[in-house]
């Protein structure tokens, strides 16, 4: 009996010893009527099992308030769970502050990462180009990306900036205390400044899990001035970082696949799945539905995995036929939120993942969209009026606009409303 208890304790401790699978932090400044400074922070946490967590703050931290307690929204039983926590900070001024999350016990990995450290730098001074506080780059990631060891390829991460800044990625730097020691990236996974991961095919001896620890930064596209609440200014050039967010996740190198061609074993996306990086739009309190389809010929599609706002809902209609639905609230108005997804398939014990695709959803009640049409035909606008209007409306609905959308089609001499 005593031996059984000891063995049970060993198993429990072992499961707790290697549990961390990464995190992502993003932020938006909140507009206030009294001139105070408030920021909304979104934290995503990835673990083997669902659990709560929190970042510590140093610098101009102000007062923190909980908007949404840690909410589990996507998980793979026996593998990982992703949750989201949303807080706000009311600050005495718009000086920068730093958020840090550090502890021990990354999942077991081949690049020898034990303890983790994730760092976010929050910059809220007023930008001269937008006359608003800075917003962070917006991105997300599922807790584990998977590739067969014999299939080289590229993984394009979502890198969207609400202020129009240039977004750059790099691996976390130990000398800048952006990670804990050791801080060695996967040796076969190169990361470009444009946020593309390139995987080089490796022999079976390199199969297993790897810890990926990187940061995403925003840089102005021209020289700007950042203004403090006390009236002081600082210039930022195209070489100067404004803010920084951490992106950490697990990378799984699986046994070799019989074929690396999309659609054989690896799921291939089909229409009407949005392209990677697509911009979608949604009014407040109206559901946005994203249809996702994929197919394979030699494996069975089992599930859609996603990362996004906590209140995105997933629906499965059949093998390879899914949808994600999100209804933004008034608090999301004026913001753009990322949603990323992969489709997963299997043959026996082998698991195959599709490419990573991400979209950015902008929430507004009113949209002004200008479409310039170059129609290489001798027909006048009036000759093909109904056909042109219907084609444009169908395209706008496909991009996420509501079916009741009203728009104005303009040529040089007239305007038609739909």
Whole-angstrom distance, CA of residue 298 vs CA of residue 403 = 38
List, in sequence order, every residue forming a beta bridge with 304; answer none if it has no partner: 343
The pLDDT value recorded for residue 55 is 97
Q: State both tokens at 288.
A: 């946005």
Q: State both tokens at 387.
A: 């056909």
What CA–CA distances, in Å, run from 239 to 159, 194, 196, 242, 343? 18, 15, 20, 10, 38
Check whether the bond before 272 is cis (ω within 30° of 0).
Answer: yes
Residue (of 254, 118, 98) closest to 183 by Cα position: 118
The pLDDT value recorded for residue 33 is 72
Query: 10 Å Cβ neighbour count for 20?
Result: 26
Whole-angstrom distance, CA of residue 277 vs CA of residue 287 = 20
Place of tokens 């208890």: 5
Whole-angstrom distance, CA of residue 276 vs CA of residue 343 = 14
Sign of CA dihedral 154, 47, 81, 207: positive
Residue (of 406, 336, 413, 344) closest to 162 by Cα position: 336
**Structural contact between residues 399 and 280, judged by C-beta atoms closer than 8 angstroms:** yes
Q: What is the dihedral of CA 312, 295, 342, 299, to 10 degrees?
A: 120
Q: State both tokens at 183.
A: 């801080």
The pLDDT value recorded for residue 315 is 98
Residue (of 277, 271, 272, 346) closest to 305 by Cα position: 346
The pLDDT value recorded for residue 13 is 35
Radius of gyration of the chain (CA): 23
The pLDDT value recorded for residue 264 is 98
Residue (of 405, 416, 418, 408) closest to 380 by Cα position: 416
- Please report, in tens digits, the pLDDT of each residue of the chain (418 residues total): 434 433 433 333 333 456 999 999 999 999 777 778 999 999 999 999 999 999 999 999 999 999 999 999 999 988 999 999 999 999 999 999 999 999 999 999 999 999 999 999 999 999 999 999 999 999 999 999 999 999 999 999 999 999 999 999 999 999 999 999 999 999 999 999 999 999 998 778 789 999 999 999 999 999 999 999 999 999 999 999 999 999 999 999 999 999 999 999 999 999 999 999 999 999 999 999 999 999 999 999 999 999 999 999 999 999 999 999 999 999 999 999 999 999 999 999 999 999 999 999 999 876 555 555 454 555 565 666 677 777 777 776 665 565 556 555 555 443 333 4
**Structural contact between residues 105 and 80, judged by C-beta atoms closer than 8 angstroms:** no
Q: State both tokens at 382.
A: 């009036």
| Length of the chain in terms of residues written | 418
Whole-angstrom distance, CA of residue 200 vs CA of residue 206 = 11
DSSP 3-state of 158: coil
Q: Give the distance, in angstroms, between the CA of residue 217 and the centroid of all CA atoms in the same chain.
A: 14
Whole-angstrom distance, CA of residue 83 vs CA of residue 51 = 8
Q: b/e for 292-326, b at 16 or more Cβ within 10 A?
A: bbbbbeebebbebbbbbbbebebeeeeebbbebeb
Residue 176's φ and ψ, nearest 5 degrees, are -100, 10
Whole-angstrom distance, CA of residue 344 vs CA of residue 106 = 24
**Structural contact between residues 154 and 198, judged by C-beta atoms closer than 8 angstroms:** yes
Query: 10 Å Cβ neighbour count for 99?
Result: 23
């Amino acid at each position: 009996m005593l031996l059984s208890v000891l063995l049970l304790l060993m198993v429990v401790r072992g499961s707790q010893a290697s549990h961390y699978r990464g995190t992502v932090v993003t932020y938006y400044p909140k507009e206030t009527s009294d001139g105070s400074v408030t920021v909304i922070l979104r934290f995503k946490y990835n673990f083997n099992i669902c659990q709560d967590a929190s970042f510590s703050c140093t610098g101009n931290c102000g007062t923190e308030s909980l908007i949404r307690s840690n909410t589990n929204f996507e998980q793979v039983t026996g593998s990982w769970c992703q949750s989201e926590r949303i807080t706000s900070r009311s600050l005495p001024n718009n000086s920068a502050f730093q958020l840090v999350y550090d502890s021990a016990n990354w999942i077991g990995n081949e690049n020898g990462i034990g303890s983790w450290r994730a760092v976010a730098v929050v910059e809220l001074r007023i930008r001269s180009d937008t006359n608003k506080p800075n917003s962070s780059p917006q991105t997300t990631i599922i807790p584990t990306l998977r590739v067969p060891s014999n299939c080289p390829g590229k993984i394009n991460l979502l890198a969207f900036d609400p202020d129009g800044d240039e977004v750059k990625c790099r691996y976390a730097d130990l000398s800048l205390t952006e990670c804990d020691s050791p801080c060695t990236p996967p040796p076969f996974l190169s990361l470009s400044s444009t946020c593309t991961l390139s995987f080089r095919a490796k022999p079976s001896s390199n199969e297993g899990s790897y810890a990926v620890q990187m940061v995403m930064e925003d840089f102005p596209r021209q020289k700007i001035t950042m203004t403090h609440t006390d009236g002081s200014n600082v210039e930022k050039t195209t070489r100067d970082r404004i803010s920084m967010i951490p992106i950490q996740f697990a990378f799984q190198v699986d046994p070799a696949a019989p074929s690396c061609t999309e659609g054989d074993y690896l799921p291939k996306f089909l229409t009407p799945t949005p392209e990677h990086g697509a911009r979608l739009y949604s009014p407040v309190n109206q559901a946005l539905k994203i249809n996702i389809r994929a197919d394979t010929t030699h494996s069975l599609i089992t599930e859609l995995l996603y990362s996004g706002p906590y209140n995105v809902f997933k629906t499965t209609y059949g093998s390879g036929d899914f949808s994600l639905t999100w209804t933004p609230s008034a608090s999301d108005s004026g913001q753009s939120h990322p949603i990323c997804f992969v489709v997963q398939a299997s043959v026996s014990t082998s698991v195959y993942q599709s490419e990573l695709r991400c979209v950015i959803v902008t929430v507004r009640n009113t949209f002004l969209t200008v479409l310039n049409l170059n129609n290489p035909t001798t027909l006048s606008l009036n000759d093909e009026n109904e056909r042109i209007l219907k084609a444009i409306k169908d395209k706008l609905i496909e991009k996420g606009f509501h079916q009741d959308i009203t728009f104005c089609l303009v040529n040089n001499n007239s305007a038609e409303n739909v």
